[in-house]
Amino acid sequence: MIIVEKFSFNPFQENTFILFDETKECVIIDPGCYYTEEEQTLSNFIEKNKLKPVSLLLTHAHIDHVLGCNYILKKYGLLPTMHPAENFNIESVEQIGKMYGIPNASNPQKPQHYLSENQKFTFGNCVLELLFVPGHSPGHLAFVCHDQQFVINGDVLFYESIGRTDLPGGDFDTLIKSIKEKMFALPDEYTVYCGHGPETSIKHEKEFNPFLN
């Protein structure tokens, strides 16, 4: 059984996730830890639960989702794994950080391996299906666990909202298409873990999301 642990990090209040099961293997998704105490919070949880980090996954590579990548590399030796269309976002983290007044933001090292749609990602006894859901960013992925009926969806869907599309590579029509054709193809009861804010469900967003009705 997968346990999903959520942390809210950095000035953008981004949600970082650790997923693990009874084997103690874990994956870190979208490490937003920026301050030293946030890095310690993440590593303390891993050590307390005797977890073994085996992969660092990115839904996408906007600055708020990757601020902890270099810490994860230094601490656990893990490079990010993402869709190749996110390379330009990885390369602009330091520049974007200066624009937003985050002086110590640095570009993460690029992946050695990339992910694409219709792949399955495994760790421990768990299987995650990958969905390609561009629009908020050009290489955005979501990670679906069918066994436990949830999806880690980054900044695609939020509780009664959607990801912004005014950043480089964003496109509103593409995002709406991704949600309606990919996210809403998931069963209604699936829990949606979002990149910011609380969880929601596919059913709730179909009924109450003002951007999709």
* Class of the CATH-defined domain 3-208: alpha beta
In the chain, what percentage of residues exceed pLDDT 70? Answer: 100
What Cα–Cα distance (Å) separates residue 152 from each residue in 8, 69, 85, 99, 144? 14, 18, 19, 28, 6
What Cα–Cα distance (Å) separates residue 93 from each residue in 23, 64, 165? 34, 9, 18
Both tokens of 11, joined, read: 């000035």
On whether the pTM is more than 0.75, the answer is yes
**43-71 pLDDT, tens digit each:** 999 999 999 999 999 999 999 999 999 99
**147-159 pLDDT, tens digit each:** 999 999 999 999 9
In the chain, what percentage of residues exceed pLDDT 90? Answer: 96
Distance, CA of 179 to CA of 163 (rounded, Å): 10
Q: Could you tell me the residue ranges of all domains in the chain?
A: 3-208
Closest C-alpha to 94, from 67, 131, 121, 60: 67
